[in-house]
Amino acid sequence: MLLTRPRPVDQAPLQLEDLPAAYPGPGEVRLKIRCCGICHTDLHTVEGDLPLPSLPLVPGHQVIGIVESCGKNVHTLKDGDRVGVPWLFSTDQTCGYCRRGLENLCDHARFTGYHVNGGYAESMVVREDYAFLIPKVFSDEHAAPLLCAGIIGYRSHHLSGIGEGQRLGLYGFGASAHLVLQLARYRRQEVYVFTRAAIHRTLAKKLGAAWVGDASDAGSESLDHAIIFAPAGGLVPQALRALKKAGSLTLAGITMSEIPAMDYSLLYQERTVRSVANSTRRDAREFLELAGQIPIESEVRLYPLESANQALLDLKHSRLEAAGVLQIAA
């Protein structure tokens, strides 16, 4: 599915096109793509909310595929391996951020389905060190959301600093939050979910949330830490009001509407606010291993590749219970 000009998703900006086949170079593998998850970042890309480095472009960065050919000097993967390709496509490994273990902030990072063609396609080429083996416990479609929703959720949960027995608030409840809830429950944390959509409230209760409701009618119990997944800046002061002293608020989205002016008292008492930007290969490896151990269960709705516009439209209007996945090959 090719994007030639960003525009609202209800105008069907993605079109099926035949593109020349790509072949793997040294250190690269070619994948036969089985499925690709859809993500709010895809929606922001397609609708032009993010400045695009170049066009035309194939979106998609939660890619599950089978290695079908290897270039020279490929040592860790082989034909037939099932791997996932996440948002982080490559880094320079030489900038100051990479040398500090912060390759997610690399000055020259490239991202899948943004700088390079992604997973809304039948095949793609990726460096072997940026593709990750998928635990056998997961089917293709249930593995796909782990590649962004899961990895970003994992990094957000880790950076929040929450510990065992503490109380976590999740604002917005979609693909990422429904995976984080399971991770938090596994680590014996009590989870409060703030969401307006009835379909999301039902799923949150099913997955073991201690409390589910709207951000404006939060329960009387305060939170140790909170994560905002919804791209709504107005939630920031509401979430801060619910935090205990020394609590943290983590902003997990790639974009967010304007954060309103707020009284300093909401930050006082050593509360902190931080953003999450991208992820590292270490995040991917750690999360996929942990997800297989738990094991995390993803809730998905499947769409054929040619229905990518409809899938993104359903995502935009909160009609998905959790995660949408494009099925490309059986």
Q: What CATH code is carried by the domain that includes residue 316?
A: 3.90.180.10
- Domain match, 196 and 80 both: no
Q: How many domains does the chain have?
A: 2
Q: What is the pLDDT of residues 165-176, one digit of tens each?
A: 999 999 999 899
Q: What is the DSSP letter of 318?
A: T
Q: What is the pLDDT of residues 109-122, one digit of tens each?
A: 999 999 999 999 99
The pLDDT, as a whole number, for residue 21 is 87
Q: Which of 275, 291, 309 is the last residue of a domain?
A: 275
The pLDDT, as a whole number, for residue 218 is 59
- Domain match, 302 and 315 both: yes
Give the percent of the chain with pLDDT over 90.
Answer: 93
Torsion, Cα of 99, 103, 107, 108 (10° steps): 110
- Domain match, 98 and 129 both: yes
pTM of the complete model = 0.93
Q: What is the pLDDT of residues 189-229, one digit of tens each?
A: 999 999 998 999 999 999 999 999 998 875 545 999 999 99
The pLDDT, as a whole number, for residue 152 is 97
* pLDDT exceeds 90 at position 276: yes
Q: What is the three-class DSSP state of 84?
A: strand
Least confident of 62-66, 147-151, 318-322: 318-322
Average pLDDT over residues 314-321: 91
Domain that holds residue 246: 150-275
d(CA 204, CA 189) in angstroms, rounded, equals 14
Q: Grade residue 62 by pLDDT with cuts at 50, 70 and 90.
A: very high
Contact between 300 and 325 under an 8 Å Cβ cutoff? The reply is yes
